[in-house]
């Protein structure tokens, strides 16, 4: 059949068809309406119309040809419908768990009330502070099965396994239902216990989770661990130590550790800088291959994160097959974000390339890096100098005096002796074993001194400390620059207008318009490039 051959005719009722480039571009914004695809009998031009009458008789001479109809597109339907149904959401949109409480309870509450999911940024916070956050969320949103959905973060803490266990235990005690587990390089006993605790079998035979894990990953080997049941040896050890019941362990061997896998591409914070267009299909194929080898009635949903700061990038993520999207960097500039106004101003000025990789405070000795803002702060270059010094010396005492004084003056802003006293005070309460190790290993003592700077630099950015403005560590990926370019000249250019829900709805609305534009192009319509641009508008 000729793809340009009409299969019927169309007659207008009250609104004329459009065939011009301007008209086609405007039509993409009416994505909630079914759209007729037409062909002009005289010029052969393709166009669209809304409403009117369709006849399946294509033989009427001179009539406008009807090529078919595009169904309505809704932002709610861009992702996997089962994701929204399972987690009781209206939109397949998630705000990520920016650490140190930058993803505030206020942000999570706003998202929940708008029918979206937000994760509180528990990483870097004490168990006592996390308890207060859970209290705030339960008070505002409730905690039963019909309450608006919300979540919280468990970050891998290889330097502080006791803290990782404490936070996991807290989530178990409080019955937190949705947990994003991030920065893990494999399964740990804390994660497996969190996954398996409370597993039960329903009357119809299904295994029901008490804790729903969202595993944020960027490597296939890590994804594979979360896409399968927990290792039998780890489950057995947890039973033997009294941390799991035997029936929970048995059920834990029957379903994947995580029901939702968030595929994180080039992002702020911990990142492998992988492009989403390469990473997502790779992980999706891995999931499907595992499903063929080990069939399960519990399909895994895949989300997309990293680099999502424009409607086009969000639409592209859904086109790759994402069940949901996760935004991160851009939300730090939101009104609800728990970061200083100076930092929000710097974020709102960032361009696409204004980011740099720098050593991570929590995995400093391993050489792990995080992506941070470069423009307006010297943290990135200064942190790299610290890591170079760590690699080059066995202890603070092995540095030459000029090298040490230069680091103290130009990077640390305090003497190593002063910093060590603060470190001793901190770890004497938090983890005394760290101090014992530092006394036995001078290189570890040096690492703790350098980590003092790396750890506090993010808190200086949160506290708006004017004396440390040049040392702000602000986690940021290229999505921030893309977002700023998109909103330039609109009301969202001002940080005061950037509420997290306003940003989310504009990205979803724009993604629906971009999806419609691609549908129209795929139907043979000469859609202009301008149709793929969606200017922000006030939606709340």
pTM of the shown model: 0.94
Question: Where exactly does CATH 3.20.20.70 map onto the chain?
Answer: 76-334
DSSP calls for 192-236: HHHHHTT-EE-TTS-EE-SSEEEEEESSHHHHHHHTSPPPHHHHH
Percent of the chain clearing pLDDT 70 (strictly above) = 99
CA-only gyration radius of the chain, Å: 26
**Mean pLDDT along residues 10-14:** 91
Torsion, Cα of 136, 138, 139, 143 (10° steps): 180
User: Which residues, in sequence order, are bridge partners of residue 301?
Assistant: 260
Beta strand pairing call for 64-70 and 8-11? antiparallel
**Mean pLDDT along residues 379-383:** 96
Torsion, Cα of 123, 129, 132, 133 (10° steps): -20
Alpha carbon distances (Å) from 206 to 214, 371, 387: 20, 41, 50
Buried b (16+ CB within 10 A) or exposed e, 410-424: ebbbbebeebbeebe
* Cα angle 427, 433, 439; round to 5: 90
- pLDDT value for 159: 79
Burial, 146: exposed, middle or buried (Cβ in 10 Å; 0-12, 13-18, 19+)?
A: exposed
Residue range 187-238, pLDDT digits in tens: 999 999 999 999 999 999 999 999 999 999 999 999 999 999 999 999 999 9
Q: Quick one: tokens of 229?
A: 């049941």
Burial, 286: exposed, middle or buried (Cβ in 10 Å; 0-12, 13-18, 19+)?
A: middle
Residue with tokens 């005690």, as numbered in its chain: 173
271: nearest Cα among 478, 523, 443: 478
* Cα angle 495, 343, 456; round to 5: 150
Beta strand pairing call for 178-182 and 212-217? parallel
Three-state DSSP class for residue 400? coil
**Mean pLDDT along residues 54-66:** 88
Q: What are phi and psi of 290, to 5 degrees?
A: -65, -35
Cα separation of the two ends of the chain: 47
Q: Quick one: tokens of 114?
A: 């708008």
Question: Do residues 193 and 235 touch, judged by C-beta distance below 8 A?
Answer: no
Q: What's the mean pLDDT when you consider all of the chain?
A: 95
Centre a 10 Å sphere on the Cβ of residue 295 and count the other Cβ atoms it contains. Answer: 7
- pLDDT value for 2: 55
Question: Do residues 354 and 375 touch, judged by C-beta distance below 8 A?
Answer: yes
Burial, 53: exposed, middle or buried (Cβ in 10 Å; 0-12, 13-18, 19+)?
A: exposed
User: How many whole angstroms separate alpha carbon 59 and alpha carbon 114?
Assistant: 50
Residues listed for the chain: 540
Residue range 337-363, pLDDT digits in tens: 999 999 999 999 999 999 999 999 988
CATH topology of domain 76-334: TIM Barrel (3.20.20)
**Mean pLDDT along residues 508-516:** 98
**Local confidence band at 289 (pLDDT 50, 70, 90 cut-offs):** very high
Q: Give start and end residues of each alpha helix (H) in 116-182.
A: 127-141, 161-174
Flag whether pLDDT at 61 surpasses 90.
no
Q: Quick one: tokens of 73?
A: 């597109």
**Mean pLDDT along residues 268-274:** 92
Question: Do residues 155 and 94 touch, judged by C-beta distance below 8 A?
Answer: no
- Non-local (6+) Cβ contacts of 124 within 8 A are 99, 100, 101, 155, 362, 455, 458
Question: Do residues 48 and 17 touch, judged by C-beta distance below 8 A?
Answer: yes
User: How many whole angstroms separate alpha carbon 333 and alpha carbon 392?
Assistant: 37
Instruction: Compare 89 and 3 and report the one with higher pLDDT.
Output: 89
User: Which residues, in sequence order, are bridge partners of residue 324?
Assistant: 303
Buried b (16+ CB within 10 A) or exposed e, 362-391: bbbbeeebbbbbbbbbebbebbbbbbebbe
**Mean pLDDT along residues 450-459:** 96
User: How many whole angstroms separate alpha carbon 249 and alpha carbon 12?
Assistant: 64
Centre a 10 Å sphere on the Cβ of residue 134 and count the other Cβ atoms it contains. Answer: 21
Residue range 241-267, pLDDT digits in tens: 999 999 999 999 999 999 999 999 999
Burial, 400: exposed, middle or buried (Cβ in 10 Å; 0-12, 13-18, 19+)?
A: exposed
**Local confidence band at 1 (pLDDT 50, 70, 90 cut-offs):** very low
- pLDDT value for 3: 60
């Amino acid at each position: 059949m000729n793809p340009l051959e009409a299969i019927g005719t169309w007659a207008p009722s009250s609104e004329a068809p459009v065939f011009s480039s301007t008209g086609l571009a405007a039509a993409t914004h009416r994505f909630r309406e079914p759209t007729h695809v037409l062909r002009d009998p005289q010029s052969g031009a393709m166009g669209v119309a809304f409403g009117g009458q369709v006849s399946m008789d294509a033989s009427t001479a001179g009539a406008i040809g009807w090529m078919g109809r595009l169904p309505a597109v809704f932002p709610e339907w861009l992702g996997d419908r089962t994701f929204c149904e399972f987690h009781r959401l209206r939109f397949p949109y998630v705000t990520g768990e920016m650490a140190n409480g930058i993803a505030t309870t206020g942000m999570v509450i706003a998202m929940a009330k708008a029918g979206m999911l937000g994760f509180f940024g528990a990483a870097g916070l004490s168990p006592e502070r996390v308890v207060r956050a859970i209290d705030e969320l339960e008070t505002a949103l409730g905690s039963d099965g019909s309450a608006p959905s919300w979540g919280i973060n468990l970050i891998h803490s290889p330097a502080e396994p006791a803290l990782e266990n404490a936070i996991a235990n807290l989530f178990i005690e409080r019955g937190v239902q949705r947990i994003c587990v991030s920065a893990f390089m494999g399964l740990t006993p804390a994660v497996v216990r969190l996954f398996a605790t409370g597993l039960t079998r329903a009357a119809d035979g299904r295994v029901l989770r008490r804790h729903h894990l969202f595993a944020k990953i960027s490597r296939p080997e890590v994804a594979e661990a979360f896409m399968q049941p927990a290792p039998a040896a780890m489950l057995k050890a947890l039973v033997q130590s009294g941390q799991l019941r035997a029936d929970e362990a048995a059920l834990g061997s029957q379903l994947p550790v995580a029901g939702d896998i968030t595929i994180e591409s080039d992002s702020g914070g911990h990142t492998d800088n992988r492009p989403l267009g390469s990473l997502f299909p790779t992980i999706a194929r891995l999931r499907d291959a595992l499903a063929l080898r080990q069939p399960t009635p519990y399909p895994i949903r895949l989300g997309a994160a990293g680099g999502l700061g424009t409607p086009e990038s969000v639409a592209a993520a859904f086109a790759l097959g994402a069940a949901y999207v996760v935004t991160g960097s851009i939300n730090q500039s939101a009104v609800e974000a728990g970061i200083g106004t100076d930092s929000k101003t710097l974020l709102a000025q960032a361009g696409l390339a204004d980011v740099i990789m720098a050593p991570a405070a929590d995995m400093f000795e391993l050489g792990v890096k995080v992506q941070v803002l470069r423009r307006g702060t010297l943290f990135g270059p200064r942190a790299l100098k610290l890591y170079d010094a760590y690699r080059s010396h066995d202890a603070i005492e092995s540095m030459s005096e000029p090298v040490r004084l230069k680091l103290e003056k130009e990077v640390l802003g305090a003497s190593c002796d002063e910093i060590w006293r603060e470190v001793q005070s901190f770890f004497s309460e938090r983890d005394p074993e760290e101090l014992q190790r530092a006394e036995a290993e001078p290189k570890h003592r040096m690492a703790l001194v350098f980590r003092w700077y790396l750890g506090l630099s993010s808190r200086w950015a949160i506290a708006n400390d004017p004396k440390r403005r040049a040392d702000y560590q602000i986690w940021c990926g290229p999505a921030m620059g893309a977002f700023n370019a998109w909103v330039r000249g609109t009301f969202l250019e001002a940080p005061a207008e950037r509420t997290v829900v306003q940003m989310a709805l504009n990205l979803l609305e724009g993604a629906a318009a971009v999806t419609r534009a691609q549908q129209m192009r795929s139907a043979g319509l000469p859609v202009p490039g301008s149709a793929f641009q969606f200017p922000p508008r006030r939606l709340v």
